[in-house]
């Protein structure tokens, strides 16, 4: 627990046992926020944690724990954790000079940006911000104050929990009461009363605690009123059965919620508990959670890598499926990054730790999924608002049913009171309130396991409505590893052309610049840093080498710097028509050569676009590359395209589309920040990188184009599941409300219908845990 100063609130954290859904979190938030000195309450349903600011001069932390405990939840204080390391500032590699992209150069101690003016390097950071807001307090339904919850430690069976023991006890009492009714009728009535009281006392205690906290309309309060009223009108048998069925529903609900959480917890179990550390030539085994940045760990063949790091010695095949979902091992060597939980499949490796345990990639995935559950879908927010009106309305209707017929229509008080009590039970909105968050939780878990990270219900709902997907070209539709295919020299040798170009491109992290430098190194061409290197916004890069002024940029921008004869123009047209990116090299105002590069489309790009088309979704490629190259690549993939776009023009194109329909923008998560932010959903492609996880609304960890369609399929399946859940919840309520008022439905049928609807809705939502998003229809 930390504090920044004596006058500021302390930041405290607890594990909250039994917080099964978003409504549970809303309950706790609503009760805790009412205490003086409490601020910034944040709850994570998936991790069952609560964090808040507390001024202990107004309220002691023990008061927080007592308030939560009074609502039926358990608490355990957590020690403060180190804040996750922020994503390092990453310069945008962009596309190629003059083609709507940026370069980052570092010539000696001096760095300069090479590319488009106004390009945003900050990244798209909308994704996780919503988690801090969390759901607003709801005053109705499942999880409301008094809703009995508890911790279920790993490995503990349902019957070992307090709720499980209550079910067994009330069930035994109910069975004994029925047995006694067969042999001793006079005693059986009191046996049913005893069975009812044993079950209802803990429920009533929580109901009154909730009322004292300012939230009287809870399912526990309805249960207490209904059971007590049934006893007073002589329906002890039904009262006992109602209490027993309610307890059974509570147990089933907890089991279902824990199953959804277990799918995410399983990710954390992939990281080994111990690590072999090398120090001063000797090895020792330590707790993997205690690894420090900079330590060297030995990873034997067959072992799981204990931390995110960088290989310092060895070459081996790495199975990264726990992180990316990609089962094909990748061969990696010295200097290449590896992820915690990945399997070293071939040879011993030495890995330098680059991230602490709480900040490794799997931990970040788990944390983002947990936080995503606080970003509620619009449908869920509407249901919460509806429930706050619905519960008082049901109570008012029950009062009218109990009072109006006897007073105005000469009805029997006992009959209409019984029907009013049944109406209270049937009116419980548990199934309705849980219908959305249960499906969202299952969908997020399924997506994370399949390499599809979506940050909350808002993103899922928007993805389901997507009708246009816009793609960046370089590194998204293409492999992002271009190579020089041809050099056309004019008056100089090929080596001289490459040497001049490499001098101004050295130090750049852009794939096309790296391709030129790689060509120079592969042919033993000296690579020297040009002096006075600088970017010409939106055109290219210039510098001076051995007194020669050098410019490298797209041909359309080079035309103003040098004369292109017919031969040069024909060469440019021929190369660009073939789908190649062309860089013109000018020395002292004279065109000395053309360098053609080709970035091949990803292997699954065409199939991915075809799958989107099968879903009724248009695909559009946005690129700063020349029109002929853009047309060639887009044509080979069967998609529309817009070429020669500056970064601000990409944003304008996205905004124009967004005004008409739902748009998803897919980029590399770095250089496409403005366009990602402008789209309805920004999706970053990246194999578990910090940027891919943090910068967009969603991330595709496998870097496969096909997974864009998979994400849409999962989102649509989730929304379809939610619609079915809402129909089940409202449909059953409507039917049984009518039958209850007309006397066809008794108390036990009412609670059975309510519990049954909750179980059906939860079970239907859990079907999403088995959904295969990668399987096209």
**For this structure, is 672 an active site residue?**
no
Query: Which residues, at least 6 apart from 123, have a Cβ–Cβ distance to it below 8 Å?
Result: 87, 90, 669, 670, 673, 691, 694, 695
Cβ-proximal residues to 358 (8 Å cutoff; 6+ apart), any chain: 81, 82, 84, 289
| Residue 41 contacts residue 134 (beta carbons within 8 Å) | yes
For strand 681-685 and strand 698-700, is the pairing parallel, antiparallel, or unpaired? Answer: parallel
Retrieve residue 145's tokens. 């104050």
> What is the pLDDT at residue 691?
53
Q: How many CA atoms lie within 13 A of 169 on its CB side?
A: 16
Q: Kindly state the DSSP code that residue 743 receives in the 8-state scheme.
A: T
Surface-to-core class of residue 161, CB atoms within 10 Å of its CB (0-12 exposed, 13-18 middle, 19+ buried): buried
User: Where does 300-376 show beta strands of DSSP type E?
Assistant: 309-313, 316-319, 330-332, 337-338, 343-344, 349-353
CA nearest to 37, candidates 15, 17, 63, 14: 63
The closest of 272, 277, 312 to 297, measured between CA atoms, is 277
Residue 751: φ, ψ to 5°:
-70, -35
What per-residue confidence (pLDDT) applies to 734? 82
pLDDT on residue 43: 79
Q: Which residues are CB-neighbours of 223 under 8 A, at least 6 positions away?
A: 200, 203, 207, 242, 243, 246, 425
Residue 56 to residue 682: CA distance in whole angstroms:
41
Structure tokens that stand for 186 in this block: 């006079």
| Residue 722, CA atoms < 13 Å, CB-side half-sphere | 25
A 10 A CB-CB count for 413 gives 13
Query: For 323-477, where are the E strands, in sequence order?
Result: 330-332, 337-338, 343-344, 349-353, 452-454, 468-472
Mean pLDDT by 10 residues, the chain (777 residues): 55 82 68 87 76 88 88 79 39 36 37 35 34 34 37 57 77 81 75 84 80 73 76 75 74 65 66 88 89 92 90 88 63 88 87 88 71 59 68 82 86 84 74 76 84 83 92 83 90 92 79 85 90 74 90 88 92 89 92 90 91 94 84 90 82 88 81 74 71 70 89 94 89 82 75 76 86 76
* Closest C-alpha among 41, 10, 38 to residue 28: 41
Query: How far apart, in whole angstroms, are the C-alpha atoms of residue 573 and residue 592?
Result: 17
Give me 90's structure tokens.
Answer: 């990453």
pTM: 0.63
Residues 472, 599, 668, 697: which is the catalytic one? 472
Model pLDDT, residue 158? 66
Distance CA 26, CA 24 (A): 5
Alpha-carbon distance of 329 to 316, in angstroms, equals: 9
* DSSP β-ladder status, 38-44 and 49-54: antiparallel
What integer pLDDT is reported at residue 490 of this predicted model? Answer: 93
Do the beta carbons of residue 189 and residue 385 sit within 8 Å?
no
């Amino acid at each position: 627990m930390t504090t920044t100063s004596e006058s500021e609130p302390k930041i405290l954290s607890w594990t909250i046992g039994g917080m099964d859904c978003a409504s549970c979190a809303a309950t706790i938030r609503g009760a805790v926020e009412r205490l003086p000195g409490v601020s910034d309450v944040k709850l994570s349903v998936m991790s069952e944690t609560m964090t808040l600011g507390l001024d202990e001069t107004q309220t002691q932390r023990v008061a927080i724990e007592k308030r939560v405990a009074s609502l039926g939840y358990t608490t355990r204080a957590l020690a403060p954790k180190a804040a996750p390391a922020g994503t390092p500032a990453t310069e945008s590699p962009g596309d190629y000079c003059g083609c709507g992209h940026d370069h980052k150069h570092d010539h000696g101690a001096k760095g300069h940006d090479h590319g488009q003016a106004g390009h945003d390097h900050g990244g798209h950071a909308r994704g996780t911000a919503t988690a801090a807001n969390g759901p607003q307090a709801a005053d109705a339904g499942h999880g409301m104050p008094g809703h009995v919850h508890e911790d279920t430690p790993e490995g503990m069976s349902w019957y070992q929990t307090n709720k499980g023991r209550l079910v067994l006890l009330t069930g035994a009492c109910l069975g004994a009461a029925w047995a006694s009714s067969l042999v001793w009728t006079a005693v059986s009535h009191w046996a049913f009363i005893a069975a009812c009281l044993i079950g209802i006392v803990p429920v009533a205690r929580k109901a009154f605690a909730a009322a004292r906290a300012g939230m009287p309309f809870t399912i526990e309060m309805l249960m207490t009123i209904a059971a007590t009223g049934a006893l007073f009108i002589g329906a002890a048998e039904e009262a006992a059965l109602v209490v027993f069925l309610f307890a059974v529903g509570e147990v089933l609900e907890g089991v279902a919620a824990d199953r959804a959480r277990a799918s995410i917890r399983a990710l954390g179990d992939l990281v080994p508990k111990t690590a072999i550390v090398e120090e001063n030539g000797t090895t020792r085994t330590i707790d993997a959670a205690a690894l420090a940045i900079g330590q060297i760990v030995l990873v034997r063949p067959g072992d799981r890598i204990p931390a995110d790091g960088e290989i310092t010695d060895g070459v081996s095949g790495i199975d990264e499926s726990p992180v990316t979902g990609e089962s094909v091992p990748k061969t990696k060597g010295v200097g290449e990054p590896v992820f915690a939980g990945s399997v070293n499949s071939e040879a011993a490796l030495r890995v330098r730790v680059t991230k602490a345990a709480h900040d490794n990639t799997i931990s970040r995935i788990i944390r983002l999924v947990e936080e995503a559950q606080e970003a509620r879908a619009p449908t869920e927010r509407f249901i919460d608002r509806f429930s706050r009106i619905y519960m008082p309305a049901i109570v008012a209707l029950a009062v009218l049913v109990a009072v109006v017929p006897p007073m105005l229509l000469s009805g029997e008080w006992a009959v209409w009171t019984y029907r009013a009590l049944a109406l209270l039970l049937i009116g419980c909105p548990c199934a309705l309130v849980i219908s959305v968050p249960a499906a969202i939780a299952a969908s997020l878990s399924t997506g994370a396991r399949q390499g599809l990270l979506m940050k909350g219900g808002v993103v899922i709902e928007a993805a389901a409505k997507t009708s246009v997907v816009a793609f960046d070209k370089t590194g998204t539709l293409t492999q992002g590893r271009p190579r020089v295919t041809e050099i056309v020299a004019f008056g100089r040798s090929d080596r001289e052309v490459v040497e001049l170009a490499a001098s101004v491109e050295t130090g750049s992290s852009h794939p096309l610049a790296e391709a030129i430098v790689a060509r120079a190194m592969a042919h033993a061409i000296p690579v020297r840093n040009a002096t006075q290197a600088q970017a010409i916004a939106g055109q290219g890069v210039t510098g001076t080498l051995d007194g020669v002024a050098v410019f490298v940029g797209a041909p359309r921008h080079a035309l103003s710097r040098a004369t292109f004869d017919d031969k040069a123009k024909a060469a440019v047209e021929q190369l660009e028509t073939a789908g190649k990116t062309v860089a013109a090299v000018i020395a002292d105002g004279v065109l000395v050569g053309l360098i053609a590069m080709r970035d091949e489309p990803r292997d699954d790009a065409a199939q991915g676009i075809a799958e989107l088309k099968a879903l009724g979704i248009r695909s559009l490629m946005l690129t700063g590359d020349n029109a002929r190259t853009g047309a060639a690549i887009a044509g080979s993939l069967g998609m529309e395209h817009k070429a020669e776009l500056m970064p601000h023009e990409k944003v304008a194109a996205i905004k124009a589309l967004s005004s008409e329909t739902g748009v998803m923008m897919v980029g590399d998560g770095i250089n496409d920040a403005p366009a990602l932010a402008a789209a309805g959903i920004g999706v970053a492609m990246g194999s578990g990188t910090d940027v891919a996880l943090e910068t967009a609304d969603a991330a595709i960890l496998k870097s496969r184009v096909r997974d864009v369609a998979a994400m849409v399929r999962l989102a649509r399946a989730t929304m379809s599941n939610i619609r079915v859940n809402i129909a089940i919840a409202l449909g059953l309520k409507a039917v049984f409300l009518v039958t209850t008022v007309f006397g066809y439905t008794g108390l036990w049928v009412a609670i059975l219908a309510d519990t049954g609807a909750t179980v059906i809705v939860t079970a239907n939502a859990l079907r999403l845990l088995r959904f295969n998003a990668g399987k096209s229809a």
